[in-house]
Structure 1
């Protein structure tokens, strides 16, 4: 592939390491990633056939926080001008659709539906991170949050990390992630650690009330934790729990983060869970009404076996190869 091909990425920097890990895949394919803002250079009008654009979470832009009643309309106008005009600067616009529903607002609106419709027209390729019948799209692999060298080093480590936590829920806490549904049926005799911040104060109060009312053995510091502390917590856990409802998500960064650190994964039933359970013996689906009995019956898979499987399916070359037909 020519080293003259350029890729413009939105967002270019992000707290979610998915962006940095995906950039590495693009570099592996011979692309030079640039900030999305640099796409709108006059020289790109004449070199558009050499340019590619990859958009992540772009549909959420009109709903971003921090805009007031005056700045939001101006921002939305600029957003639509940029969206409609980007094909003038690139012949290949790839929209990575991460969610079924809006990420920053409780439900879809006419504006959200308009944005989705326009993206489907402007993007000549739509990509998802899992196959889903609801969306016609190419599928690329979600990267792990550890590189190949780190994975292989952990796999071959002489001493495994001790597991001091049996059951862990981690990640940002939002209603659609259904932590409430997990707490509503969680056995009183089993300890659960929650590592995540809930910015919705009403939802946080509801969760705490549920914990108190059911006298649950739950440890939860409702605050942001450092990357190092989160990693140590996941590495120290035997099982990570994903209670998401079906159609709440297309893919789960929590799943891939836990996978790359060797945790077994327990899910409530969903299309995502069924697909992963078919692929991996350390992914288990549980039923709410039989939770206590099923937890006791789950066989634990050693972390080294989890990591070996993770490396086999999601190593850096596999992720880059999944992107190759999308970008060519």
Structure 2
């Protein structure tokens, strides 16, 4: 059985290589990548029409509908539909993995149109998979987001240069406006340090954050992090803050990154985190109604220590989202049981 995965790689994000590894562990499956370059896709089209794959698994295709300005792109919508049709005619069954309801950077006034377009197109042309079980009642099959494979922080030596040595909380991931990082920085007072690190998705927003951080116990460092650097910074913290509260998010990659290191997470309540706490009975995740509640909780002196140790968090993460669970979930989707 041939299963193709689009895109064949996703830069610094481990997600694609992790699901390819899980799919390759399903009995009788051979996994191939689909190039991200659309010219290469068209050049391969005659061959792909003759030698159709059994499945194609598609990720992040909905990002095409958003222009750089944050508006809905007519050309991008046509591109989304065209690629979806191309994938559909070159395989026997098309699986669409839904990461977000609509692109992160899309302006809110276009969100309902974008979501409706993606909903209807994927319902008509694909078998739909989501990375959170709260989407099952919307017609999706559930496959868990794989855990990241990270270096052991204990083998990485001392902490990174200009960052505090201990007693800090961290926000990490792409530094973009939709993350709501500014709400935390604006409210942050004395006491423990706040560290913001990650790839710069919006240079203007990074400048705004640095202005807000002036005179505060806040360290901001923009730039791409290696897995070793990220592991060292996150594992050395008192916990990870996830302030993203927008409606488009289905799951958070940063959450799964934190789990792989056994680090406690403080997040704003939504359907995904509610499911994690309620159905997974997950330790090490504390939920809040808004950014103000998070800051109030973390700046109390002293911060109430977590009753959950890191090994307990990692053990539960493996039970809920490890490769064994992922492979079993893909088997159910592929063999339809």
Q: Under TM normalisation by the shorter chain, which class is it?
A: 0.7 to 0.9
CA contact (8 A) 2:2 2:31 kept: yes
Measure the CA separation in 2 of the matches of 1:251 and 1:221. Answer: 25
CA contact (8 A) 2:102 2:114 kept: no
Q: Which residue of 2 aligns with 1:177?
A: 179
Q: Which residue of 1 aligns with 2:217?
A: 217
CA contact (8 A) 1:10 1:36 kept: yes
Q: C-alpha root-mean-square deviation of aligned residues, in Å?
A: 3.2
CA contact (8 A) 1:177 1:248 kept: no
Q: What is the aligned counterpart of 2:200 among 198, 209, 230?
A: 198
Per-residue displacement from partner, 1:13-54 (whole Å, max 9, x unpaired)? 112101001001100103211122579555655664x61010
Note the C-alpha offset of 1:203: 1.7
Instruction: Give runs of aligned pairs for residues 52-201 of structure 1, distance below 5 A.
Output: 52-61=55-64, 63=66, 80-103=81-104, 105-107=106-108, 108=110, 113-123=116-126, 125-132=127-134, 135-146=138-149, 164-201=166-203
Note the C-alpha offset of 1:91: 2.1
Q: Which residue of 2 aligns with 1:302?
A: 309
Instruction: Give runs of aligned pairs for residues 253-272 of structure 1, distance below 5 A.
Output: 253-272=253-272
Per-residue displacement from partner, 1:274-311 (whole Å, max 9, x unpaired)? 22233212111135444455232352522222212222
CA contact (8 A) 2:194 2:218 kept: yes
Q: Which residue of 1 aligns with 2:20?
A: 23
Note the C-alpha offset of 1:176: 1.6
TM-score (norm 2): 0.79
Note the C-alpha offset of 1:187: 3.4
Measure the CA separation in 2 of the matches of 1:76 and 1:270. Answer: 28
Note the C-alpha offset of 1:222: 1.9
CA contact (8 A) 2:190 2:216 kept: yes
Note the C-alpha offset of 1:205: 2.4
Per-residue displacement from partner, 1:70-92 (whole Å, max 9, x unpaired)? xx95x876664442243333221
Count of residues in Structure 1 that have an aligned counterpart in Structure 2? 307
The unaligned stretches of length 5 or more in structure 2 are 36-40, 69-73, 160-164
Note the C-alpha offset of 1:250: 0.3
The unaligned stretches of length 5 or more in structure 1 are 66-71
Q: Which residue of 1 aligns with 2:210?
A: 208
TM-score (norm 1): 0.81
Question: Structure 1 residues 293, 87: CA separation in 2 closer, same or farther (over 3 Å shift)?
Answer: closer
State the secondary structure of the residue aligned to 2:87.
helix
Question: Structure 1 residues 140, 182: CA separation in 2 closer, same or farther (over 3 Å shift)?
Answer: same
Question: Structure 1 residues 64, 57: CA separation in 2 closer, same or farther (over 3 Å shift)?
Answer: farther
Measure the CA separation in 2 of the matches of 1:245 and 1:79. Answer: 26
CA contact (8 A) 1:13 1:19 kept: yes
Measure the CA separation in 1 of the matches of 2:85 and 2:185. Answer: 45
Measure the CA separation in 2 of the matches of 1:166 and 1:313. Answer: 28
Q: Does 1:232 align with 2:232?
A: yes
